[in-house]
Amino acid sequence: MAPWQNCISSLGRMLMRLLAKREFTYLLVGGFNSIVGYSIVVGLYYILRSRLDILAIGAIGNILAISISFLTYKTFVFKTDGRWLLEYLRSYLVYGFAALMNILLLWLFVEKFSFNVWLAQGMSMLLTVVLSYIAHSRFTFSRR
């Protein structure tokens, strides 16, 4: 086998091990969900802006985005069977908690610690992603 073939084979094995880790899959699916959620809200805005208020568009977009996120996390990350309604309702609790946490952290970093808003939001998001993973794995999609 040529050296470049060994390198490609090693990279392939490393990628497969990485994809098998639930934490990595969570980040990958979460990135997809973020793009989809962003696209839904922006798309709805352009379609519905002449008929609906931005708050209504945001609410509709978030319901759709959270529903898609729930389905992708359930299917590709946590792979739980049954309990659809319970897990769906629990996911709303986690997303509500995450939103409140993000708002609180953003306020704390910007107003109390005088961080730049770009840095503050990045740090808030990072902490929220970690806490959301823990909440989803131990609460929303708990196998108990």
pLDDT tens column, 96-138:
999 898 889 889 988 999 998 888 888 888 898 889 999 999 9
pLDDT tens column, 7-47:
667 666 766 676 668 888 999 999 999 999 989 999 999 99
Please give the Cα distance from 10 to 93 (Å, whole number).
41
DSSP state of 115: -
Residue 76's pLDDT is what?
Answer: 94
The structure's pTM equals: 0.77
Closest CA to 21 of 29, 9, 31: 29
pLDDT of 70 over the 80 cut: yes
Please give the Cα distance from 130 to 20 (Å, whole number).
18
Residue 15's pLDDT is what?
Answer: 64
pLDDT tens column, 44-57:
999 999 999 988 99
> Would you kindly state where each structural domain of the chain is located, as residue ranges?
29-79, 81-144
Residues 70-91, mean pLDDT to the nearest whole number: 94
Residue 29's pLDDT is what?
Answer: 94
Q: Name the token pair of 10.
A: 């090693």
SS3 string, 44-102, reads: HHHHHCCCCCHHHHHHHHHHHHHHHHHHHHHHHHHCCCCCHHHHHHHHHHHHHHHHHHH
